[in-house]
Amino acid sequence: MAGYRYDYDVIAQWIAPGEKVLDLGCGDGGLLRYLIEARQVRGYGVENDPGKILACVKNGVNVIQADMNRGLVDFDDGFFDHVIMSLSLQAMHNTEGILAEMLRVGREAVVSFPNFAYWRHRQSILNGRMPVSRSLPYQWFDTPNVRFFTIDDFEALCVRCGIAIHKRLAFDEGKVIVDEPNFLASVAVYRLGRDDAARLGEKPGEAASVNQPHPA
């Protein structure tokens, strides 16, 4: 499948067949297309880039043009089973607001993001340059990213906002990282819920018990 990424398998395992799914910053609709085929979801995408919206239409994906930084006011509370934001959270101006909106309109949220504390990124900064990598592919002067944060930063934000971390998986170029993910992982994927689910008492690393997906 064109545009396939290794995190698609992880996200698909967290979604039951036939669910209602909203994909924020859906790009060309590749993830939704995958979930429709693999899990028969009823999927909708939100995107603001006209070129990417056209790509979604060509991909057979239902897409709505909207600026996510303004919230999800067009969607009712709890309308979706899962709301996904894959590798787009770092481009949001109102990070706390969009996370709250995802958990308002969805039963659970799934987010993934590049880890700025990844050891190769640290090495690049030590060498005097902003990092450029597969997970952070842009130069400093043309990046759409407005937030540069780490796995530890994100988990601290979840505590602050009362967001329950149900599961976490961390990767380095498609390989699952269990030990020291804030240092060794380039990307992290989270399954999140509202604070009433925090009573489970699981640590994020302990809850991450899914099979390793095959690489792209």
- The fourth-level CATH superfamily of domain 7-207 is Vaccinia Virus protein VP39 (3.40.50.150)
Query: Taking the domains of the chain in order of start, what are their residue ranges?
Result: 7-207
pTM reported for the whole predicted model: 0.85
Do 138 and 144 touch, CB atoms closer than 8 A? Answer: yes
φ, ψ for residue 23, nearest 5 deg: -110, 110
State pLDDT tens for residues 154-188: 999 999 999 999 999 999 988 999 999 999 999 99
State pLDDT tens for residues 113-147: 999 999 999 999 999 999 998 888 999 999 989 99
State pLDDT tens for residues 5-29: 778 889 999 999 999 999 999 999 9
